[in-house]
A and B are shown apart, each in its own frame.
Chain A
Amino acid sequence: MSTPVLSLRDLVVEIPTRTGVLRPVNGVSFDIAAGEILGVVGESGAGKSMTGNAVIGLLDRPARIVSGEVRLLDQPIQSLRGEALRRLRGKRMGMIFQDPLTSLNPLLTIGDQLTETIREHLDVGQSEARERAIAALDEVGIPAARQRIGSYPHEFSGGMRQRVVIALALCAEPELVIADEPTTALDVSVQAQIIALLKRLCRDRGVAVMLVTHDMGVIAEAADRIAVMYAGGVVELGPVREVITRPFHPYTGGLMASTPGASKGMRRLRQIPGSMPRLDALPDGCPFHPRCERAEAACRENPGPSLAACDGRAACWFPLTEPKEAVS
């Protein structure tokens, strides 16, 4: 298999606070290949957006990467700063934000924002950049792109704006796109269109996508593989069909059971008892053990195992594959 576009190894992000050091991202590892969509799911605060921000180098102070590796194709980029990092952004990795209403500059036309980005990264003149901008808008399905290129963001609907955002993220032809909750702020009817668009563009161009969302439905629809995050770590990683139909990690199991439509049949939705621990009050041992029905002494005493310990699928001492007395 060829080199993955994005490769994370034991990424750790820390936030020093007055009361102690928090670790919103604690040893995350995964790869994304060209043309592949990796869905990253988890509750809010699980560290999924923070991971995305760390990759593209947009962590808000005082959060910072303290160890681990972020590799873009062959190049380690975790320690890049300033100008070197800026050249990568947009050109080799793009980012799509959650809210299309706020992620476009209201005072610049969408054409201005597109051509600016294109000219920043590609060696083209103004008129060539404009043609490319029109082509980019066309590609994301903005009707009459040539006429609308001079429009301001407020003249578009939410769904159309998100298309513009996608065009902006992809216009300099990056190899990696990080989409942070790209559909959360949209109407349900528009969500499917945006997901389909994202999927089509990535397939066509062979772009690697890190799709961050808390919406299992979106993942099931779009992703090839799935990474489930809990309290700063990846607890399960695998092909999306397998993980959904046969989760290994009890947390993933709970997540599926509590998601309508993700699990087959008309079973009652179940809840995972309790809530995710706060970063400043992580329990000893496996962070999930206080909420886990299968937890035993080992879980309280030892941190969760690495993914590798369980066929590279789940970070759990007692994965759901192992027969255990029936879980009610």
Chain B
Amino acid sequence: MLAYIIRRVAQSLLVLLVTGFVAFSMFSFVGDPIDNMLGQERTQADIDRLRGQLGLDQPFVVQYYRFLEQAVQGNFGLSYRQGRPVSDILMERLPATLELAFVSGFLALAGGIGLGIFTAIRKRGVSANAIMTVSLIGVSLPTFLIGIVLIYVFSVEMGLLPSFGRGEVVRIGGWTTGFLTESGLKALILPAITLGLYQMTLIMRLVRTEMLEVLRMDYIRFARARGIRERSVNFRHALKNTLVPVITITGLQLGSIIAFAIITETVFQWPGVGLLFINAIQFVDIPVMAAYLMMISVMFVGINLIVDLLYFAIDPRLRVDRTAAGGH
């Protein structure tokens, strides 16, 4: 087990090194930082001096190492567009994104698992079939269209909820939260649904498929043949087995909520890191892009690691098998 965890951690580090390399390459190959930092009136001496300062005259590997060193300390330089340290901008924007992702993730998980179980158990029921049909439309509906539809219905037509922004926020230390004000909570509703709905559909369909698969297994038949109550068969015997494969994909889904927040934040002009990233792409603001990439990979890798560890908590077979089984 320990060996397995060590291998997983090593893999995570590899992912971080590779994304770090991509981020670093963006600095090196996409636009010349010297161009970006020095004005029109520059002399060759200025350029050489800056080159020396930035370490651009060093060998590639040394530069990469320096970059990683800086990145680990959260230092990505100045935003080309705003002229402020990227890390400051990110920290300012991060609470908005995390609060949004947290609420939608909760919606997606609770709704997805609940509806998935329901549609699997009542697989011939009318309501279960209706839910499945609607979910197919949900999968085809791009996130931004969901947002637009919600804005149209609840903001434009009904005037119930705000269509953009975060509402009033309360500052607590370095964190800003919209959870504590009425306008903040109201502003959260539409974006959270927009972001959560698609993931919820996916999780629901996945849970349903896995659960139906499990319900066909011999041990479920055997449990029924022993007269175990239907409730216990479904929730004790079947659900636990369903969760093992569901956890991986669900974990990844939760990660992608942070990425899909980019779309939701743009639709609702939500002042989070996603909107920042989109603006950075539009203006080719490399430091912001690179920092966002690094930040999001750390999050993803973290989520993946947690998912792996959760496996051990749920599936006793892994506690012995995995380490011995090795590669595959």
Contacts and interface: CB of A to CB of B under 8 A. Distances in A.
Contacts of A165: 222
A120 B315 CA distance: 25
B314 A58 contact: no
A168 B315 CA distance: 22
A169 B226 contact: yes
B227 A87 contact: yes
Nearest to A91: B227
A117 B314 contact: no
Interface stretch (B55-63, B85-93, B213-221): B213-221
B229 interface: yes
Interface string B202-221: 00000000000000011101
Given A107-B241, A107-B315, A152-B316, A99 B218 contact: yes
Interface string B285-326: 000000000000000000000000000001111001100000
Contact of A117 (B226, B240, B244, B321): B226
Interface residues of A, number: 31
B221 A172 contact: no
B122 interface: no
Contacts of A87: 227
A155 B236 CA distance: 21
Interface in A86-122: 86-91, 94-95, 97, 99, 102-108, 113, 116-117, 120-121
A58 B224 contact: yes
A202 interface: no
A91 B240 CA distance: 25
Nearest to B226: A90
B227 A89 contact: yes
Contact of A168 (B222, B244, B317): B222
Nearest to B314: A107
Interface of A: 56, 58, 86-91, 94-95, 97, 99, 102-108, 113, 116-117, 120-121, 152, 154-155, 165, 168-169, 172
9 contacts: A99-B218, A103-B218, A104-B222, A106-B219, A107-B244, A120-B229, A152-B316, A154-B321, A168-B222
